[in-house]
Amino acid sequence: MNKILSGSAVLLMTTAPVVAGGIERAPQSLAVLFEQGNYAELSFGGVDPTVEGTDIAGFKTGDVAQGYGFAGLSYKHQFNDNLSAAFIMEQPFGADILYPTQPGPFPNPSTDGSVVLGGTRVEVNSTTLTALARYRFENNFSIHGGIRASRADGRVVLDGAGYSRIAPPYNLEIEDEWGTGYVIGAAYEIPEIAGRVSLTYNSPIEHDFDMTETGNVILGATGGLTDTISGRYTVKTPRSWTLEGQTGVAEGTLVFGSIRWVKWSEFIVDNAVFPIATPTGGSVPLVEVEDTTTYTIGMGRQFTDNWSGSVSFLYEASEGDTVSPLAPTNGRKGVTLAAIYTMDNLKVTTGINYTRLGGSDLGIGETGNKTRVATMEDNHAWGVGVRIGYSF
């Protein structure tokens, strides 16, 4: 049973989120803690999303979502029958959105490139390190917890006719910075049926970023004579709860699943210019993201002493009517297939994921009263991943 789950379900959680809610790319699973004995693992892969639509001027946006790769490393050490610890390096947050600009002075609506959003871009890079310990009691209950440190940087450009009334254009550079948070949780296991249920809480992580803002909008926001402002501002990555479970249902067959909730509404970029106050007493945020709940269910099957496989399905409902051009998808449905080859202490897992990304209207303006600037339709993403694990 452990050959099936530890080789496949962890991979599914890594490749499936391809373009998740907010800027999430991986769900920060702690499944390595439940591997048997001492264990080391290397993971890597790539994602190719396609997100495109039409702006309100009738121009095709082109494919605005850029492909990306990911890599991870984890190590788990078993000190005795009750106490273990793990170290995890991963890239759970990231974004790379670019709206192509129409070529020439008289653009053709049949040529990809948005007049309304052309030139708009968001880029976020991050690496997270997690150190944690697990203590297993004699009654099959266990607790786990530790510290998480995250390094992140980013860039935002607002351009095109859609942003002309707000920030024409606006450029934000976010310098590298580390932030810290914590993780805590508990689990209950029934070894006889390979059963386990775990609940994990990830705290928000606060980053105190050095930011540089450039653009004509700053003249109006500050009343000064400069188009550049630098300062230090706090941004939080959101808190989350993850409920994961598994159980054997027949000889060599196991079912597993998870429910993950992320409070994306607390992910706010608050600096000198944004949020911009409006005459009605409201405000225009730089980016606004709804909270998300993601469901995953799957089944694993052992075919031979060396080979096993699994299939899983993922669902994330659409949230809200209009989303930000900086996060241009809304909801998703995905399927992942994985194959696991085990030989002695070595385990190699490969997986492929296909995700339908929810269509959405993109809006700019005051919270609760956004103006539609584009519609994205028929979006999807392909992801592939490989995990190489070694027990000793």
Which pLDDT score is estimated for 40?
95
Which pLDDT score is estimated for 18?
54
Per-residue pLDDT band at 8 (split at 50, 70, 90): very low
Reported as a single tens digit per residue, the pLDDT across 210-265 is 999 988 766 555 555 567 889 999 998 889 999 999 999 988 899 999 999 999 88
- DSSP class per residue in 223-268: -SS-SEEEEEEEEEEPPEEEEEEEEEEETTEEEEEEEEEE-GGG--
| Residue bearing the bigger pLDDT, 278 or 218 | 278
What does the mean pLDDT of the chain come to? Answer: 86
Per-residue pLDDT band at 321 (split at 50, 70, 90): confident
Reported as a single tens digit per residue, the pLDDT across 145-198 is 999 999 999 999 999 888 887 766 889 999 999 999 999 999 999 988 889 999
CA dist 322 and 10 (Å) reads 32
Reported as a single tens digit per residue, the pLDDT across 327-350 is 898 889 999 999 989 999 999 989
Q: Are 262 and 22 contacting, i.e. CB atoms less than 8 angstroms apart?
A: yes
Residue 246, token pair as written in the block: 């598994």
- DSSP class per residue in 317-331: ---SSEE-TTS----
Range of the domain at 237: 2-391
Distance of CA 11 to the CA centre of its chain: 15
Res. 201: pLDDT tops 90:
yes
**Residues comprising the chain, all counted:** 392
| Mean pLDDT computed over 72-79 | 95
Which pLDDT score is estimated for 114?
83
Say which CATH number the domain at 6 has: 2.40.160.60
Reported as a single tens digit per residue, the pLDDT across 95-147 is 899 999 865 444 455 567 888 999 899 999 999 999 999 999 999 999 999 99
Which positions ≥6 away from 109 have C-beta within 8 Å? 57, 58, 59, 60
Nearest partner of 259 among 312, 313, 295, 297, judged by Cα: 295
DSSP 60: B
Which pLDDT score is estimated for 51?
93
- DSSP class per residue in 273-301: S-SEE-TTS-EE-S-----EEEEEEEEEE
Which pLDDT score is estimated for 79?
97
DSSP 368: T
Which pLDDT score is estimated for 19?
56
Nearest partner of 295 among 310, 312, 315, judged by Cα: 315
First to last CA, the chain: 18
Which positions ≥6 away from 110 have C-beta within 8 Å? 60
Sign of CA dihedral 103, 23, 178, 170: positive
pTM of the model as a whole: 0.89
Residue 93, token pair as written in the block: 């947050």
Res. 16: pLDDT tops 50:
no
Reported as a single tens digit per residue, the pLDDT across 20-58 is 566 777 777 888 899 889 999 998 889 999 999 999 988
Q: How many domains does the chain have?
A: 1
